[in-house]
Amino acid sequence: MTSASSGPPAGPPRLGRQPSTSQAELSHIALQLFIEHGFDATTIDDIAARAGIGRRTFFRYFPSKNDLPWGDFDSLLDRMRDHLHSLPAGLSLVEALRAAVIEFNRFPQEEVPYHRQRMDLLLNVPTLVAHSTLRYASWRQVVAEYAGQRLGVPEDSLQPQAIAWTYLAVSLAAYEQWLKNDDADLIALLDSAFELLDTTFDPRHDGP
């Protein structure tokens, strides 16, 4: 629904009328409006008008207003899935996941401010906070798949699911800190969050 990395697939030479806009463009326009006037104060009509399309047409590009800030998330997921499976077999499961999750959240310097604004919306606007849960589910699915495979157990059993949930949890905790501090480094925060996971639940470490 949100996937398909752009660029013509070069297969069938394109039939029928051309689309008058794109997911990426709408997402971009909407993000601007959200930042300018707030998420709730921005209506679909506003976005459609700004994009020069009809309201009805908007819903052919995005299934809901809530999906706008996510843009094309599915292709990011594909990248993470690939990355996971390309990791050296020498890594333990937790090492592999840690590496992949950190890699997943690495963005080119110039995209960082953009990414920050998106995440600011996603983690602070209640409607979006709620809706994002559904996207996180796909993310967890990728992690659980890999964990299940590595552990040799069904991906929907307790351990892979718990692991997937936990990595999501830790990532979100790191993101929250990142957003609270203008010049914080996301990667460093993720790293120390994963570190905490080890020390906090290390049975040798018995207090406080």
Partner DNA sequence: GATACTAATGACACCGAGTGCCGAATGGAA
Partner DNA sequence: TTCCATTCGGCACTCGGTGTCATTAGTATC
Size of the residue set binding a second copy (CB under 8 A): 47
For a second copy, the binding residue among 1, 10, 15, 158 (CB under 8 A) is 158
Stretch that binds a second copy, among 38-46, 80-88, 112-120, 161-169 (CB under 8 A): 161-169
Q: 3-class secondary structure for the chain?
A: CCCCCCCCCCCCCCCCCCCCCCHHHHHHHHHHHHHHHCCCCCCHHHHHHHHCCCHHHHHHHCCCHHHHHHCCHHHHHHHHHHHHHCCCCCCCHHHHHHHHHHHHCCCCHHHHHHHHHHHHHHHHCHHHHHHHHHHHHHHHHHHHHHHHHHHCCCCCCHHHHHHHHHHHHHHHHHHHHHHHCCCCCHHHHHHHHHHHHHHHCCCCCCCC
Asked if 153 interacts with a second copy (CB under 8 A), we say: no
Q: How far is the CB of 53 from a second copy (least distance, A)?
A: 27
By C-beta, is 64 or 75 nearer to DNA?
64
By C-beta, is 98 or 118 nearer to DNA?
118
Q: How far is the CB of 184 from DNA (least distance, A)?
A: 32
- Out of DNA, a second copy, none, which partner does residue 15 contact, by CB within 5 to 8 A per kind? DNA
Residues that bind a second copy (CB under 8 A): 92-94, 126, 129-134, 137, 150-152, 156-159, 161-166, 168-170, 172-174, 176-177, 180, 189, 192-193, 196-198, 200-204, 206-208
